Structure 1
Amino acid sequence: MSATQRAGWSRLPLRAAAFVALTCATILGVSGWREWAAREAVLKGAETEMANVARSQIQHAEDSLDLLDSGVVGVVSRLEMDGAGSATIAKLRTLLDVREKAIPRIHSLAIIDDQGNWLTSSGTVSSTFSDDAFFRHHQLSPKREPHVGRPVKSLLDGEWVVTLSRRFNKPDGSFGGVVLATISSKYLSHFYEQFEIGRNSSVTLAHGDGLIVARAPNDEEFVGHNVADKPLFREPSLQRPSGAYHFKSPLDGAERVSVFNRSSRFPLLLLVTVDKDELLAPWRAAAISRMLYAVALVMLIAIIGAVLVRQLQRGQRMAAALVEKEAHFRLLAEGSSDMVTRIGLDERLRYVSPSSVRIVGWRPNQLIGTPALAGINPEDLPDVQAIVDAMKRGEKEEARLIYRNSHRQNGEIWLESTMQVTRKDNGRVDGVVAISRDITEHKKLETRLETLAIEDSLTGLANRRGFDERLKEEWARAYRDRSSLALLMIDVDHFKAYNDEYGHPAGDACLRLIAGIIAAEAQRAGDLAARYGGEEFAILLPNIDAAGCALIGERIRSAIHAAGLVHSTNLAAGCVTASVGGATCRPALERTAGVASLVEAADRALYAAKDAGRDRLMMSGEVVNLLPKASGQ
């Protein structure tokens, strides 16, 4: 061996040592950087998951308040239409009791007069609210929108409650009082306890001014606690609709990772927090294991110099991280009562959670690979398709949709879906995640409330509001079709005397009997029988001439007389009778007239029938001239 060769061999250990040292330092440095990045990824992933939880829970709070408000709107409408008399209050007391028992999230419902006196409620407490903030708000403000007040302790049972109230007016437009509905803090806390976020996690709902409304775990000492002086309410950087931040909890002193979401419609803030140590514990244990493994790998490289082993281990760690991330997603999705789906860019389902069996009646393995929009009602499909297309193009990050969808056994149901775009590491859209829930019962309740708003509760006929809306529609239709429109006004003769003689229950029974007679004559699809007010009824008859109108009016009058309901104070007949006034017109020929003119004409005919001795039909003319010049007719 030459001197040159020996020199090369002597330098080889040094070169190898330098190479190994450089390689080991590089491996250790890269491993440390990766673990720090993994730590940040765990925190970021937790923030994303908590943001989804916060969005769903603040949506639940908004939906709960919307449900309360829909009931309050119905009560306000009834009060403004029927007045706040004792009879109306008695009817509403029964309605409020039924609604409270039927809807668990409603804690109480109450009606308060313009002096702050508690007229009726689902409970039995009697008090005055004239000094309460929500009462003063409505007393001083003419606005009609709902008011969500600060949480207070209920006078019924001492529970903390959130109040939602609306003002109702007297007939002259002045302040008539307040309809108040409340949700219990315990109900909200119990709902939040259903979410498995972490052992030391918490979900807090606070009023906009910092007063805690509900908290899960439901620790009574926190409800009603004011945190308005904390950074979440003071720091300008946190006064945005939603976000995440790390802080030391003012309630229990623990380091927390939190996500907040402010309601865009109500003064509410939802805060989801997780104990930082608990959140990072799995990562910390895994990081220690991985670093020990890296040290062992470095030692192995020092011994055998096998770069391939290092590359193989890095690949294994990356695969483990991906599997762990997928496992976290599946754990959250499969533990949810809502159906979680992942939709690819080809609009086919890539993942479906087990809740699909309950939501749509199909198992996940039956849905994966099928078109995601296949079951949507054809009328709703274009709107849903447009939203999905916009999300695939990256024009929308998230969306909330309500649509009809087929169910395997139950026909058609209503679904509410919250959709979120997912992206690859390079920022390109790779699909959509959708969280869907069945809201069929909620839609049925909405439909029922809409029906109650236009139906008279005593007779089952349309009420004044429903009559006015239909009259406008039929007037417009008759104008377009150049057809006729007729109206009969029916008034029970001496009804006040009947009530005084036989009592209000008998009076109500009388009105129901007459309503049945009138409804029996509304035989065509366009006919409408309505209770116009008190003992006065109306029947709208589209596309009929004066003779036909008079024939129907006479049948109604005769049927009421023939019913033979004894009325001793009606000396002329000795039984219940009614006066009927009728009018017909052709809107296309009366261009300067309006719907009120037809009502006035029928009303004048009704009063003419009364003046002529009652228990008779009077028509304003075969073709009513509704122009002002005919007002003396």
Structure 2
Amino acid sequence: MNARTRPDGSLRSNRLLLFTERYQKSVLVGLIVGFGIIFGSLIGQLRADAWSRANTSGDNILHLVGQEVSQDIWRYGDTLAVLKEEIEAEAKTPLAAGKAANLSLASLSTMVDGSGDLFVFGPSGRLRERSYNFKSGLADASGQAFFTEQEHAAGSYLYVGTPEPHAATDHPFIWISRRLEAADGSFAGVVAGRFDIVKWMRLFERITLGPNSSIGLIHLNGQVMMRAPYTPAAVGRDLSGTANFERFRANPPGGSFVGTSRMSGTRQAYLYVQLPHLPMILTVALALDDIYAAWWRDAITFGAFFVGLVAVLSVMALLLSRALTLRQKSEERLRRLTDVDGLTGVYNRRRFDEALAEEWARARRAGTPLSLLLFDVDNFKKYNDLYGHQAGDGCLQQIADAAAKAAGRPGDLVARYGGEEFVVLLPATDIDIAASIAEALRQSVFAGALPHRDNADYGVVTISIGAAVAYPARDAAASAEGMVAAADRALYRAKRRGRNRVEQERHAAQPAMPPVLDDDAERLTAVAVYDGVLRRRPSAEFDDLAEMAAAIFDAPMALVSLVRQDWQSCVGRWGLSVGGFGSDLSLCAHTVASRRPVVVGDARLDPRFRENPFVTGEPFVRFYAGVPLVCERTGQRIGTVCVLDREPRPEVVPLQLHLLQGIAELAMRRFEQMAKEAAPGDSTAAASAPAAEAGPGLRRSA
């Protein structure tokens, strides 16, 4: 037997092996690229972990050091407050001169022992009393900022100054002061503390940072109060006006950013916080080199391991290329048989097609509705181009999670339809419930606030949803494919109307065709007469009649129209801008055929109209009332006067129909008058519109 006709699989296997040998280099490259992606992801995660640890460490430093610095300042502030109260009390009920101040200083100076001294200055700035933890002092404070600030202050507050050199210790210190007031509220002097900030220097130096990182304390006026690593030149340096300092002040509670250090010139991650109720900003500057130093070591280690792994894989790939090819083919077949989409974790298209057929058959047997939601991510290509495909994959995963949560009932099925499109199958669900589920899903995605700069008007990721419903048991014309097509039409309608919205179609079947009239040829001849006249007259002459008809029913929409064989021309309009539409979409064709007024309380419940696109989509007609326009000379029905509403109405008052009939007669008299005023050749002008005009959709007037 010729090898080409063998029924066994040996020939096929040989071809697979030949294919593997021919493309073994491609297989090897694919493996290397695959492991490279894994390596890159691992390295990226390690880098992210290094950044996260650095931020956590910085936050801890800010908390601990900020707490310590604040306690030091408020220890002086509280001590000065006690001293202030006792001195002001002495002024109101005087003891021996200066006795209370002496007693207060003697008892309170122990609270700041070792870190500074307490001083009492009179209103002229002359020293009244002081403690002597350090020998050097200040005899006159009249020119000092801590004194003049309190002298001109509107009330008492805690003043915290900037660093100054200490003559005795050679360490910098700061002044802290409170205002003294006389009984009448006038300025009576200052109580002040001189705090030796060498304590902060020792505190900062205990913090373990990288060799290029630093921690700093900056006054709100821009002067550096303390810095580690410590240098005398750094303390007192003015940073006001620098870019980093302005960013510190722009967000008073605190924050973080990456910038360039003015002192070291290195790129650093800044974490900062303004100390509560104090004019000081505490910063931690972590050099990026320090943050990623350990990461670089790990990257080199993993890189060496990756190179070794690539070498081993290269050898193995050369030896096992045939087996790998066969295995890949087997895995591909298994993947095709699985039900779950590998990226999003929801069902795949194959499983959806199976479920749709199963649920359609079940709905037909049980007589229940079947709803479908079809949605996709708005401007997803722009999202991928802007943020990258990995971010796009993450976006799809979040969308899939939101859909799974929104459609969480037993029996609901969420599947990835293709690309960025998803589908939700909702058994035993009517269109109202389906629309509410769709709206909840849309709001959930919008509330997720996933940034999307190129999604105009929103700035975040949004989805557009098309909803459709079918009644397989009730409507033999409906089909599963038609329901999907209806949802697809609704989806693209949502796209056209601005995205980030839900649109719906009430049924997947085609709308019922209008009735065929026995005397349609004579009727169309009569229509042609008036249509020819109207071609030379503005349609606005009938708009007032449409407005009157809408007013009678208190309805938002009304039309005066001529109904041809394949086209309905709207010659008078109120609340609508349509110039005409195909007769297959026309509700008025049924009025013309009936020869009497037609009232439809709820179009969704009427088999003639429930699948009509004007009912399932814009303008979402629920109520219709129309009377025919009857030519007095020929008795033919040339059109209608009708009113429309988006809300159903259980009943109509007979007087309303009587008045609507009167408007129809008035419209007919206007037609007759126009025909008389027209030239003899005009009244018989051909009126049939070209077949190309009778499109399936709405025709908007100019």
TM-score by length of 2: 0.41
